[in-house]
Structure 1
């Protein structure tokens, strides 16, 4: 009974974390859309537009802060979710969707953070991104090609900002929302399993097998 109770507690934690993940993802997406009304994806202009949003747009500072906090916090929560699922020892086929969506969501959240480095066009982001490009360029065979694709010609410029803005806003963000929804639905489905199997004592052992 103690094992079953521990199992249920971890499932409930996983459910709560999946709700938090989707909530933070929607907050980041919503504030990102609001910021995009004033943001200019161009070298030099990007920094000035963000400064204008912070200082002149009503509640612009709040939207920008919420976007940054939600984007960074969701990475930490997603990593905690993976740890909880690992402690839960859910390696069964019924948890495959939750595992795949959780892992790919975490990668997507990290990808959003990475693509946002250069979007502010400040000194910290610029030099950090330049270092990251050096790491990418050191990849055998495809490093130079990847650098050219990302930067749009090998040099960090307006085209680089536009490329990463497009990837950040229209590709990875959409993928992150879809993965967060899939992860939440799969976790909810697992949350209901004890209720379904409690009516069938013969299946109870199969539910907690390996727990």
Structure 2
């Protein structure tokens, strides 16, 4: 029966599959880009230009990487809203809910660490501004800025951001997307197991309900 709860569960499952698909697409295209990318100031921009202009279908891989990375954030935010509407306070739902939130935060983190990886003017000055905000955090701001940049914004900053983007956060996002989908699958199985089984109609009842051929002829 198409109840609102059923529709929300199906929609959340479809969105979870979309999240895993987009994450795998971003990871695969990212690996292909990493074959030619050089994480250094100046060289990062030149290598991406070479990928877009000289590598066969490099522009397509680069575009798919950017689109999948941005789209997965949108899908993740929609998924959080859909799961909030169809909340079910059980362990499987809570697992999917928490992993979905953490995944969306990871996807945003991937987008943030990628801002300097192309080494253009927009990414450079945007990072400088946001590093000032990070440095204003009490007690840990200066240390956190030093960890992210390695000093002044330059080749070491690109290398740090590339490491976080390609290895740390991306692996976490991939694992969280799988956990998220698994939690929703287990929730669906639990819901189906709790549904009452449909009992078959006994043959005696069917025989009584159906009129005999003699009655029909009369």
TM-score calculated relative to the size of structure 2 = 0.88
Distance in 1 separating the partners of 2:174 and 2:61 = 19
Q: CA deviation at 1:194?
A: 2.8
Alignment of 1:1-211 (within 5 A): 5-153=3-151, 155-199=152-196
- Total equivalences in the alignment: 198
Distance in 2 separating the partners of 1:86 and 1:36 = 37
Distance in 2 separating the partners of 1:91 and 1:47 = 48
Q: CA deviation at 1:28?
A: 0.2
Distance in 2 separating the partners of 1:38 and 1:184 = 32
CA deviation digits over 1:7-56, x for unaligned, max 9?
A: 11000000000000000000000000000000000000000000000000
Moved more, 93-102 or 53-62: 93-102
Larger Rg: 2
Q: CA deviation at 1:200?
A: 6.2
Q: CA deviation at 1:132?
A: 0.7
Structure 1 residue runs without a partner (length 5+): 202-211
* Matched residue SS, 2:178: helix
Distance in 2 separating the partners of 1:21 and 1:50 = 26
Distance in 2 separating the partners of 1:77 and 1:22 = 11
Q: Is the 8 A contact 2:92 2:186 kept in 1?
A: no
Distance in 2 separating the partners of 1:133 and 1:79 = 25
Q: CA deviation at 1:91?
A: 3.6
Q: CA deviation at 1:197?
A: 1.0
RMSD, matched Cα: 1.4
Distance in 2 separating the partners of 1:94 and 1:15 = 13
CA deviation digits over 1:93-123, x for unaligned, max 9?
A: 3411111111110110001000001000000
Q: Which runs of 4+ in 1 moved over 6 A?
A: none
